[in-house]
Amino acid sequence: LFGHHMKDLHPNVTENDLHALFFPFGPICTVKVCRDIRTKLSRGYGFVIFKCRHDAENALKALKFSELMGKPMNIMWAEDMTVKVLSRDDGRGFCDIYAYETEPTESRGRRLANAMKSFFTTLLSSPGTWLGIGLFALAVHRAHCNTVIPI
């Protein structure tokens, strides 16, 4: 399966519009316009999946820089994983695969852990660090041995 990813689509473009535009180039497996889960409005991008690479190549050559509903489309090859996800028919309809990837969020604890990991990785990878750690451990041991415990 071979697919195209379209960006900058007109907000009113539907699956039927994309199907009508791409159908003359060959058999189509899937046509999807990505929509906001809450509002159901188009997010301005979509996918068309062809059965044959030759048909997909011809469509790309013919429609690159073309307009749909008065707005130029940005058409490119879709990534392999996107094609695999979109070509699955699970009976539930299309789930927007990018809905939860808008902004990666990271907890404060995770950010702190990543920062500390980076710091210690850098610290421990420098050549003089191990000597410094050894001398520090020796100093702590000597201080501990010389401590007078009052009775």
Hey, where are the domains in the chain? 2-87, 108-145
Residues 59 and 50: beta-carbon distance below 8 Å: yes
Residue 92: pLDDT above 60?
no
The confidence band for 102, taking pLDDT boundaries of 50, 70 and 90, is very low
Residues 24 and 50: beta-carbon distance below 8 Å: no
Residues 60 and 77: beta-carbon distance below 8 Å: yes
In percent, the amount of the chain with pLDDT more than 70 equals 55
117 alpha carbon, distance to own chain's centre? 24
pLDDT value for 120:
58
Q: Which one has a higher pLDDT value, 55 or 118?
A: 55
Residue 131: pLDDT above 70?
no
Q: At what angle do helices 108-125 and 129-145 cross, to 10 degrees?
A: 100
Task: Select 2-87's CATH number: 3.30.70.330, 3.40.1390.10, 3.30.1650.10, 3.40.120.10.
Answer: 3.30.70.330
Residue 56: pLDDT above 60?
yes
